[in-house]
Amino acid sequence: MNGKVYGLMAEFDSPGAVLRAAEKVRGAGYRRWDVFTPFPVHGLDQVMGYRNSLVGWVSLALGAGAFMSVVGLLWYANAFDYPLIVGGKPMFSPPMTFVPAYILMIMGAAVGALVGMLGINQLPRLHHPLLAKKRFESATRDKFIIVIGANDPQFSASATLKLLGDIGGSNIETVEDQE
């Protein structure tokens, strides 16, 4: 174990405790830190200061793109490249395009939501320093973990350790990043 220090991690027992602790970490002025929880904790978004997620916009962009592409495709296929008369109806009219375009809009938007979520979260990733920690396994079980990154301008091995202890963290450990 002689890798670079990635950060310090501390465990908390309940969502309420971690929420209050997170408020204090933020109050202390840290910027590069994160909270790891087994499920989304209500109110943590506000404490972390997250704005509306961009996933919705990715989804909208892909959905709208799919909608317009299908309208274009239908015009190209049934009215331009191979004009097809069906029941004396016009070669191209907006209502005829609606159903296929709408369905593929849903497809595009759904792919956008998943891919957007993975992309913004930088997933999939094969390695994460925290996943090498044995204690971190409880973050998907019943523990709530705060990690303060060593790349934070305020990070100092002793002061950060003290802060994590003061706000009620237990089992405080150093996380190493093995390149």
Partner 1 sequence: MADLTNLEELRQLAPPAELRRAPVIEGNLGLGWLTDKLSAFAEAKVPKWWWFFFVPTAFAATVIFPVCLFYQVFTGVGVWGNNHPDMWGWDIVNFIWWVGVAHAGTLISAMLFLTRQHWRTTIGRMAEAMTVFSVAMAGLYPAIHVGRAWFDWFMFPIPNSNGNWPQFKSPLMWDVFAVNTYLMVSSLFWFMGMIPDFAVLRDRSTTRVRRVIFSFLAMGWTGSAWQWHNYEKAYVVLCGLCTLLVFTVSSIVGLDFCTAQIAGWHATIFPLYFVIGAVFCGFGMMLVLLTSLRKLCGLENIITRSHIDKVAKLTLVSGLIIDYIYLMEIFIAWYSGDPYERWVFGHRFFGQSYWYFGWMLLGINVGVTQLLWFKKIRSNLLLLFVIGLLINVGMWTERFVIVVGSLYQDFLPANWGKYHPTMWDVGLYIGTLGAFFMLYLLFVKFLPVIAISEVKGATPQGDPHHPLGGAPKGGH
Whether cis (ω within 30° of 0) applies to the bond prior to 90 is no
Element (H, E) at 12: strand 4-12
The 3-state DSSP class for residue 159 equals helix
Q: Are 10 and 171 in contact (CB under 8 A)?
A: yes
- In the complex, what is the shortest distance from the CB of residue 49 to partner 1, in angstroms, rounded to a whole number? 10
Choice between 2 and 29, CB closer to partner 1: 29
Of positions 50, 88, 153, 179, contacts partner 1 by CB under 8 A: 50
Q: Are 18 and 131 in contact (CB under 8 A)?
A: no
How many residues in the shown chain lie near partner 1 by CB under 8 A?
72
As given in the structure block, the two tokens for residue 86 are 């069906």
Nearest Cα to Cα of residue 170 among 9, 10, 8: 10
Residues 102-141 that bind partner 1 (CB under 8 A): 102-104, 106-107, 109-111, 113-114, 116-118, 120-121, 123-128, 130-131, 136-141
User: What is the per-residue binding string for partner 1 in 13-42, x denoting contact by CB under 8 A?
Assistant: xxxxxxx--x-----------xxxxxxxxx
Choice between 107 and 159, CB closer to partner 1: 107
Residues 58-97 that bind partner 1 (CB under 8 A): 59, 73-74, 77-78, 81-82, 84, 86-87, 89, 96-97
Choice between 3 and 16, CB closer to partner 1: 16
Helices (H), 28-177: 44-48, 55-75, 94-120, 157-166
As given in the structure block, the two tokens for residue 7 are 């950060």
Q: How far apart are the first and last CA of the chain?
A: 11
| Stretch of residues binding partner 1 (CB under 8 A), selected from 100-108, 148-156, 157-165, 171-179 | 100-108
Choice between 2 and 134, CB closer to partner 1: 134
Give ∠ CA 158-176-174 in degrees, rounded to 5.
35
User: What is the per-residue binding string for partner 1 in 142-161, x denoting contact by CB under 8 A?
Assistant: x-------------------
